[in-house]
Amino acid sequence: MRERLAALLKKAQTNFKQRWLGILVGILLPTMAGIFLSGTIAGEYLSRWSYDRPFTLRGPIEAKDAVVVYLDEASHTALQQPYDRPWNRGLHARLLRRLTAEKARGVVFDIVFSDPGPDPEIDQEFADAIKENGKVILAADAVFAGMGGTSGRKYDPPYKLFDEAANGRMGSAEYIPDGDLVIRQYLVGLPDQLISSEAWAATELTGAPVVTNEIIHRGALYVNHYGPPGTIPGVSFHETLDEEVKLPADFFKDKMVFIGAKTVTKYSGDRKDEYATPFSSLAIRQDNDWKFTCGAEIHATAFLNLTHGEWLRRFTFAQETWIILLIGAFSGLLLVSCRPIAAILVGITLALAVAATNYALFTQKFIWFPWLIPVLIQIPLGVLWSVTFNSVQLYVRNQLLEQTLGKHLSPKRVKQLRANPEFLEPGAQKQRLTILFSDIENFSHISEGMDSDELAKLMNRYFETAVSDCIHKTDGFVVKYIGDAIFSFWNAPEEQKSHEILACEAALLLRQQSITYLKDGTVGSLRTRIGLHTGEANVGNFGSAARIDYTAIGENINLASRLEGLNKFVTTDILISSETKKGLGNKLLTRSLGHFRFKGFEKSIEVHELLGAADQLHDNKPWCDAFEQALQHFQHKRFEAAKLSFCRVLQMRDGDGPSKFYLRQIEELTPELLPIDWQGEIDLKEK
pLDDT, tens only, 271-296: 456 788 898 866 544 444 557 888 99
Whether residue 405 lies inside any domain: the answer is no
Q: Is the pLDDT of residue 102 over 70?
A: yes
Kindly state whether residues 309 and 191 are assigned to the same domain. Answer: yes
Using DSSP's 3-state secondary structure scheme, residue 637 falls into coil
Kindly state whether residues 180 and 249 are assigned to the same domain. Answer: yes
Q: How far apart are CA 517 and CA 450, in angstroms?
A: 10
Q: How far apart are the first and last CA of the chain?
A: 41
Q: How far is CA 611 from the centre of its chain?
A: 56
The larger pLDDT score, comparing residue 244 to residue 566, is at: 566
Using DSSP's 3-state secondary structure scheme, residue 235 falls into strand
Kindly state whether residues 326 and 278 are assigned to the same domain. Answer: no
Q: Is the pLDDT of residue 654 over 80?
A: yes
CA dihedral 214, 215, 218, 219 (to 10 degrees): -150
Whether residue 8 lies inside any domain: the answer is no
Mean pLDDT of 22-48: 78
Whether residue 606 lies inside any domain: the answer is no
pLDDT-derived band of residue 354, with 50, 70 and 90 as boundaries? Answer: very high
Number of domains making up the chain: 4
Kindly state whether residues 489 and 577 are assigned to the same domain. Answer: yes
**Residue 228: is the preceding peptide bond cis (ω within 30°)?**
no
pLDDT-derived band of residue 141, with 50, 70 and 90 as boundaries? Answer: confident
Q: How far apart are CA 291 and CA 296, in angstroms?
A: 15
Kindly state whether residues 442 and 347 are assigned to the same domain. Answer: no
Q: Is the pLDDT of residue 667 over 60?
A: yes
Helical (H) or strand (E) element with 608: strand 605-613
Q: How far apart are CA 539 and CA 533, in angstroms?
A: 15
- Percent of the chain beyond pLDDT 90? 50
Kindly state whether residues 288 and 345 are assigned to the same domain. Answer: no
Kindly state whether residues 633 and 670 are assigned to the same domain. Answer: yes
Whether residue 82 lies inside any domain: the answer is yes
Of the residues 314, 329, 344, the one at which a domain ends: 314
Q: How far apart are CA 553 and CA 557, in angstroms?
A: 6
pLDDT single digits (tens) 401-410: 667 666 656 6
Kindly state whether residues 446 and 550 are assigned to the same domain. Answer: yes
Q: Is the pLDDT of residue 18 over 70?
A: no
Kindly state whether residues 40 and 98 are assigned to the same domain. Answer: no
Q: Is the pLDDT of residue 81 over 80?
A: yes
Whether residue 381 lies inside any domain: the answer is yes
**Residue 493: is the preceding peptide bond cis (ω within 30°)?**
yes
Give the pLDDT of residue 676: 87
Q: Is the pLDDT of residue 210 over 60?
A: yes
Q: How far apart are CA 467 and CA 141, in angstroms?
A: 95
Whether residue 404 lies inside any domain: the answer is no
The larger pLDDT score, comparing residue 388 to residue 431, is at: 431
pLDDT-derived band of residue 623, with 50, 70 and 90 as boundaries? Answer: very high
Give the pLDDT of residue 392: 79
Kindly state whether residues 149 and 222 are assigned to the same domain. Answer: yes
Q: What is the CATH number of the domain that holds 535?
A: 3.30.70.1230
Whether residue 609 lies inside any domain: the answer is no
Of residues 181, 213, 191, the one with CA closest to residue 298: 181
Q: What angle do CA 103, 136, 60 make, to 5 degrees?
A: 70
CA dihedral 582, 587, 592, 598 (to 10 degrees): -50
Find the domain containing 286 and state its range.
60-314
- Percent of the chain beyond pLDDT 70? 86
Kindly state whether residues 440 and 545 are assigned to the same domain. Answer: yes
Of residues 564, 406, 540, the one with CA closest to residue 472: 406
Q: Is the pLDDT of residue 150 over 60?
A: no
Kindly report the number of other CB atoms within 10 A of residue 148's CB atom: 7
Of the residues 297, 314, 331, the one at which a domain ends: 314
Kindly state whether residues 253 and 305 are assigned to the same domain. Answer: yes
Whether residue 93 lies inside any domain: the answer is yes
Of residues 319, 169, 185, the one with CA closest to residue 256: 169
